[in-house]
Amino acid sequence: MAQLKTRQDSSRMGEMPEGRLLLTIAVPMMLSMLVQALYNIVDSVYVSRVSEDCLSALSLAFPAQNIMIGLGTGTGVGVSTLVSRALGSKDEKLASRTAGTAVALSLCCWLLMALFGIFGADAFIRSQTSIESIRAYTDSYLRIVTIGSTFVYLEICAERLLQSTGLTTLSMWTQMVGAVTNIILDPFFIYGWCGLPAMGTAGAAIATVIGQAMGAGVGFLFHFKKNKELPIHWRDIRLPWSIVRDIYRIGFPSILMVGIGSITNYLMNIILIGFTSTAVAVYGAYFKIQSFFFMPVFGLNNGIIPIIGYNYGARKKERIYRTIRYGVLYASFFMILGLICFQVFPKVFLGIFSPSETMLAIGVPALRRISLSFLLAGFCIVAGSACQALDKSLYSFFVSVLRQIVALIPAAWLLSLTGNVDNVWWCFPIAELMSLIASVFFLRKALKDMEKKLAAPA
């Protein structure tokens, strides 16, 4: 009976009307992403009440932390797409072997980040700032989250395996357990509630790792109890080259895109701290606030990828087109909502970080100017995910390089030469316009290649 149910869960990927299917799969992910956004912002709100330097420290740690998360989510994109495609073509053995490989890769990712935390964190921090108090706060936070990153990779792995078979509600609960645990524990470790020592940013990191451990435990509990279609055997927890190659052929461009984003954040921190550390705090606050609008879109994309992957494997072209159209429609709704909120309520959003007058003076024009890019971002994000699901992940990579390396950072640097930090924020809409042009070009090319492949004999 359980096996029949899971077969029905995955078969709906090729039968249910696309708009309803996308909402059915994506809404739980979007809700869990909203909880994730809440947890991200609460972390920063708590530390901002310790000092503005603590908030700046989290901003400086963000590029490395983003690479840590991107390594897991990029691997997850490859795993999710490969598993969905295998299930779509009825190759359950390959799907199961891919799930086992995903667990082994999670442990490899942890080892890489732990080595960075031990040997590279200090040099990374010193390259961004010479302010000793900020360096100390950043170091204590970054070392803990990287050395303890085992659990974030296992949590992401469990989520992606659940998503691959359409069990997105369980994936949502996995994320929610981890995020809520973090939110609850933050004040105990940051401020020293109930007799615990007040640890500031180190306390925020400890709460984060414990939350990730809870999420990983619940995620694999759900997988082993409910995901009977996708068993994980001990013999499959290894690294067969053919599967690892296929996972990273799909997912590695996503990792590179995150890496490029981290380099961009790193360079932006250096440009902004040349004006004042408060500008870095504003930049970090922006990233936390914008996650309330971008995270649901990323959750939507997590629904788009397995749907397109399944129907690509099942050779159902029209369902792929309709899924992309619905994805752009839903994503644009969130981005327009974000634009309105940032234009009308910038002081309200910044107010949750206990801002100084200087932070408000820098932050209000920053939020209004950056948010103009939201008008274009929804389409670009969906186009990138569609390319990944259609085996054209390099296209998404090229767009990301163009947006961030070719457009955003050079524009930010040139605008910084005016000597006015308010002008720097215009780099975001400039870069998003470049991204839109490239996204249209590459999505059309990916869809043409898909049609040629599907037109060929199976």
Q: Is residue 420 part of a domain?
A: yes
What would the pLDDT profile of 231-248 be if each residue is shown by its tens digit?
Answer: 888 888 999 898 999 999
Give the position of tokens 């103009």. Answer: 372
Mean pLDDT on 106-114: 95
Q: Which helix (H) or strand (E) holds 145?
A: helix 132-147
Q: Is residue 55 part of a domain?
A: yes
Alpha helices in 49-131, H assignment, sequence order: 52-88, 92-119, 121-126
Would you say residue 8 has pLDDT above 80? Answer: no
Q: Is residue 83 part of a domain?
A: yes
Question: What pLDDT, on the 0 to 100 scale, is given for residue 1?
Answer: 39
Question: What pLDDT, on the 0 to 100 scale, is given for residue 119?
Answer: 94
Would you say residue 315 has pLDDT above 90? Answer: no
In which band, very low, low, confident or very high, does the pLDDT at 339 lie, cut at 50, 70 and 90? very high
Question: What pLDDT, on the 0 to 100 scale, is given for residue 10?
Answer: 53
Please tell me the least confidently modeled range out of 52-56, 80-84, 134-138, 324-328: 80-84
Question: What pLDDT, on the 0 to 100 scale, is given for residue 13?
Answer: 67
Would you say residue 270 has pLDDT above 90? Answer: yes
Distance CA 160, CA 105 (A): 13
Q: Is residue 176 part of a domain?
A: yes
What would the pLDDT profile of 130-153 be if each residue is shown by its tens digit?
Answer: 888 899 999 999 999 999 999 999
Q: Give the count of beta carbons closer than 10 Å to the beta carbon of residue 207.
A: 26
Distance CA 113, CA 103 (A): 16
Domain that holds residue 159: 2-451
Question: What pLDDT, on the 0 to 100 scale, is given for residue 305?
Answer: 83
Q: Is residue 25 part of a domain?
A: yes
Mean pLDDT on 213-224: 94
In which band, very low, low, confident or very high, does the pLDDT at 164 lie, cut at 50, 70 and 90? confident
CA distances from 49 to 44, 46, 201 (A): 9, 6, 11
CA distances from 114 to 109, 256, 360 (A): 9, 19, 37
Q: For the chain, how many structural domains are there in total? A: 1
Q: Is residue 458 part of a domain?
A: no
Distance CA 327, CA 380 (A): 11
What is this structure's pTM? Answer: 0.81
Question: What pLDDT, on the 0 to 100 scale, is given for residue 254?
Answer: 76
In which band, very low, low, confident or very high, does the pLDDT at 94 lie, cut at 50, 70 and 90? confident
Q: Is residue 391 part of a domain?
A: yes
| Structure tokens given for 249 | 């052929």
The residue that leads in pLDDT, 212 or 312, is 212
Q: Which helix (H) or strand (E) holds 409?
A: helix 409-416
Q: Is residue 457 part of a domain?
A: no
